[in-house]
Amino acid sequence: MRTVTHKHLSVVRGLAKFAQVTVGRADQLAVETVVPEPEFVLSDRALSSLSDHDREVIEAARRGIRETESGLGWRGSQHFLVKLEGLEVDSIDAEAARVAAGQATRELIEK
């Protein structure tokens, strides 16, 4: 499996919007396995249960992966979300996660 991690930071009305996202892709096209749920980490601590907001962030990151695959006409192995990281104080911003996931997916495709 190959993975790439990207960070995205923006400031909106003085508030930091941050996400660090790791995206993976299986090395072989023939691998048909169930994609595991991503690890969700806040301030170096993995969360054991997810809130509705956390699930929204995961879906936004997955949307970023799909949008990038579609935009680049990708027809190879499926990309998937491996890990989302952020600060506990600010949590993880959904839009930042979408952008970071898209950037990581693009890098995997272009390699």
Report field, pTM of the whole predicted structure over 0.75? yes
pLDDT at 16 > cutoff 90: no
Average pLDDT over residues 14-21: 88
As a dihedral over the C-alpha atoms of residue 38, residue 78, residue 35, residue 26, rounded to 10 degrees, the angle is: -90
| CATH number of the domain within which 8 lies | 3.30.230.10
Q: What is the pLDDT of residues 22-80, one digit of tens each?
A: 999 987 655 556 677 899 999 889 988 999 999 999 999 999 999 999 999 998 888 99
pLDDT at 107 over 90: yes
- How many domains does the chain contain in total? 1
Looking at the DSSP bridge assignments, the partners of residue 6 are 21
Side-chain-side CA neighbours of 5 within 13 Å: the count stands at 7
**Could you tell me the residue range of the domain that residue 46 belongs to?**
2-110
Q: Which of 80, 47, 76, 83 is nearest to 63 (CA)?
A: 80
Instruction: Select from 62, 71, 76, 65 the least CA-distant residue to 103.
Output: 65
CB 52 within 8 A of CB 87: no
